[in-house]
Amino acid sequence: LAKTTQPISMDSYEGQEVNITCSHNNIATNDYITWYQQFPSQGPRFIIQGYKTKVTNEVASLFIPADRKSSTLSLPRVSLSDTAVYYCLVGARNTPLVFGKGTRLSVIA
Amino acid sequence: ETGVTQTPRHLVMGMTNKKSLKCEQHLGHNAMYWYKQSAKKPLELMFVYNFKEQTENNSVPSRFSPECPNSSHLFLHLHTLQPEDSALYLCASSQSGNPNYGYTFGSGTRLTVV
């Protein structure tokens, strides 16, 4: 399984765009990149998944460069309710998810 | 409500007790998982079930015993636990072959072993 590296924590003010970058230098051809969000004492929630280029949904955008060795989760105009831990996961479909430590995002008023 | 329901939400048990955690998914998924999340640690994968068959056991101590009677229900039977087993236990489900929406997690059972 490809190992991921992401910042331990980030702070942002409300209304700003937040970009969380994840490094996955040994990503394999069959691997997809998936991001999850977790609030305290709750299970993680799927945010977005991509393979290459850019993916956008109603919650976030995911930018993946051509070499796929990193990815960036972009959260537009964050609010206090976006304070959570964000996990970047890399793996082939149909393989169990293995979580790292994630990035703790704190949104400040 | 995420479509994956875990009961109970909170559980306190002594080291000599036997208890069970229950997970039920209403999403028609065919894979289910148990994860453990200890304080300040990443989620740890414990067990994987595909089509009711256990396909992965991540070196979990035998005091944790999973059971998957059908594709909608998953249990985790607990006996003679240790205080270090206190954690948030999360159940998740997914659809093999169509993971476009990833895993759906339940809200977890907060277990305290005294």
Q: What is the pLDDT of residue B58?
A: 77
| Mean confidence (pLDDT) of chain B | 90
pLDDT tens, per residue, chain A with 109 residues = 568 999 999 999 999 999 999 999 999 998 999 999 999 889 999 999 999 999 999 999 999 999 999 999 999 999 999 999 999 999 887 788 889 999 999 999 9
Q: Is B91 helix (H, G, I), strand (E, B) or coil?
A: strand
Contact indicator for A89, A95 with CB cutoff of 8 Å: no
Residue B100 pLDDT class (50, 70, 90 cuts): low
Residue B105 pLDDT class (50, 70, 90 cuts): very high
Sheet containing B73-79: which strands, arranged edge to edge? B4-7, B18-25, B73-79, B64-70
The answer to whether B102 faces chain A, any CB pair under 8 Å, is: yes
The distance between the two most distant Cα atoms of chain B, rounded to a whole number of Å, is: 42
Task: Provide CB contacts within 8 A for A100, sequence distance 6+.
Answer: A3, A4, A5, A6, A87, A88, A89, B42
- Quick check: A94 and B97 CB within 8 A? yes
Q: What is the pLDDT of residue B101?
A: 59
Q: What is the mean pLDDT of residues B76-81?
A: 95
- Quick check: A97 and B108 CB within 8 A? no
Other Cβ atoms less than 10 A from the Cβ of B41: the count is 11
Amino acid at A54: K
The answer to whether B66 faces chain A, any CB pair under 8 Å, is: no
Q: What is the pLDDT of residue B97?
A: 62
Residue A2: alpha-carbon gap to chain centroid? 15
Closest CA to B102 of A104, A50, A76, A22: A50
- Residues on chain B touching A102 (C-beta within 8 angstroms): 42
Q: What is the mean pLDDT of residues B78-100?
A: 87
d(C-alpha B77, C-alpha B11), whole Å: 13
pLDDT tens digits, residue range B13-42? 999 999 999 999 999 998 999 999 998 788
> Cα distance from B113 to chain A (closest Cα, Å)?
17
d(C-alpha A54, C-alpha A50), whole Å: 7
